[in-house]
Amino acid sequence: MLTMTFVLCAMVALATADDAAADRSAPQCPPNWRKHNNRCFYFESSTKNWLDAETQCQNMSGNLASIHQDDEHKFLQTLTQSEAWIGGSDCQTPGSWFWIDGTGVSGTFWCPQKPDNTQAECCLQTNTQITKCWDDITCDTLLPFVCAKPL
């Protein structure tokens, strides 16, 4: 009976160790980054213009965040709590929006009468107005920003 108890305890210990190892091997976000779906997001509260914000995101192996679904938009709203740069731009061709990470623009959360597609306002900020919508503004505006990278 003592031998059987020892074997059972050993099996439980091995199973627990396997579960812990599996948890450690799952992809994790770096410290200070938050996981949402299959990406990691980082909110930087210091302010930069859009290009400098993108450069800082690239230095952390990411890009300014792209948003593809309603749940991502809501997640970024809670992450930032303020106006912030995200990775949309139409600087090359007014009216042709793209994400800096190369993904296509699929959902939109524009404020009413936005974007206005002027060459002077070609970078995308989120959490504008009371509805926390998107707005195109001048790229030299100083704002906090959100970086994203895949797991």
| 78-96 average pLDDT score | 92
CATH number listed for the domain at residues 29-150: 3.10.100.10
Predicted confidence at residue 66, as pLDDT, reads: 96
pLDDT value at 2 more than 60: no
Give the C-alpha separation, 102 to 108, whole Å: 16
More confidently predicted of 92 and 39: 39
Averaged pLDDT score across all residues of the chain: 85
Sign of CA dihedral 64, 66, 72, 78: positive
Type of residue found at 72: E
pLDDT value at 135 more than 90: yes
Q: Is the peptide bond before 150 cis (omega within 30 degrees of 0)?
A: no
Give the C-alpha separation, 97 to 78, whole Å: 24
DSSP string, 112-142: TT-----TT--EEEEEETTTTEEEEE-TTS-
- The residues near 5 (Cβ < 8 Å, ≥ 6 apart) are none
Domain locations along the chain = 29-150
Considering 17-31, 59-73, 96-110, the range whose residues carry the highest mean pLDDT is 59-73
Confidence band of 63 (pLDDT split at 50, 70, 90): very high
- Selection from 70, 84, 77, 73 nearest residue 147 by Cα: 84
Cβ atoms of 106 and 73 closer than 8 Å? no
Q: What is the pTM of this model?
A: 0.81
pLDDT value at 58 more than 60: yes
Confidence band of 131 (pLDDT split at 50, 70, 90): confident
More confidently predicted of 140 and 5: 140
- Selection from 81, 94, 80, 82 nearest residue 123 by Cα: 94
